[in-house]
Amino acid sequence: MKNGKKIEAMRQGGKALGAIKRQLQDLTVPGIKFEEIETAAQRLIKEAGMQPSFSTVPGYSWATCIMKNDEVCHGIPKDKNVESGDIITIDVGLISQGYHLDTTITFAVGEVSDEVRRFLDIGRRVLDKAIAKAKPGNSVYDISFQMEKGLQRHGYGAVYQLIGHGVGEQLHMDPEIPVVANKKDKHVLIREGQTLAIEVMYTMGLPDLVQGKDGWTFLTKDGSLSGMFEETVLVTKNGPEVLTN
């Protein structure tokens, strides 16, 4: 595979980021402040010998985006607490030897209904099936189709206003990878050696989003619960390799 230095750097970064994601989830308990999760992320990234990725985005100063309940993405990690029964989404990225990696997890804190647990379980499964389509010769459409149809099959809303993306030399790169399939993406083919941030963003209700007053956070318009699962994936000749597990 071409560009061995990049691939090795991203494998190292992905392993570190996956571990950081799990540690952030473990410390997210009732009563913790979003600022505390952010501080932990900054510390863990530094201890791994790497740098935060998201703070390279103009106007954004944090290592994480943290959301709860009806907040879908880009949530500023401040001025909120975690409460029992919340659905929390943590999006975190880092830079490994100049290369960006990006991952997201949504999980329940405390007791929630079986309906909510099913909602989260389906999201993870849908992402896995979409990632399985990240093979050389397949298209972006193939990935998006798996997400859209998988969500709709269970009555969930597929977010159409936000997208996954290529990742590596920059945090956000081509190709764009929407959750909702677009026929034009049948012509956007997946290549060996690509690194992709594949993310399923979905809602328990309608998929329409609005932007919050902070100018960053996207929320569901109808107030329904939302979820996001994202992994950075390397495309190999033998299929997808998830780097951020």
pLDDT digits 0-9 by tens, 18-34: 999 999 999 999 999 99
At 52 the pLDDT is 98
pLDDT digits 0-9 by tens, 91-122: 999 999 999 999 999 999 999 999 999 999 99
At 2 the pLDDT is 52
pTM: 0.96
Q: Which domain holds residue 117?
A: 4-242
With 0-12 CB in 10 A as exposed, 13-18 as middle and 19+ as buried, what is 53?
A: buried
Is-contact 216 175, C-beta < 8 A? no
pLDDT digits 0-9 by tens, 46-63: 999 999 999 999 999 999
Q: How many domains does the chain have?
A: 1
At 114 the pLDDT is 98
- At residue 40, does pLDDT exceed 90? yes
Q: What is the mean pLDDT of residues 129-138?
A: 98
Sign of the dihedral defined by the CA atoms of residues 180, 120, 218, 13, in that order: negative
Percentage of residues in the chain with pLDDT exceeding 70?
99
Going by pLDDT thresholds of 50, 70 and 90, the confidence category of residue 3 is: confident
At 221 the pLDDT is 98
- At residue 1, does pLDDT exceed 80? no
pLDDT digits 0-9 by tens, 68-78: 999 999 999 99
The CATH number given to whatever domain includes residue 178 is: 3.90.230.10
At 177 the pLDDT is 98
At 183 the pLDDT is 97
| Pairwise CA distance, residues 153 & 142, whole Å | 16
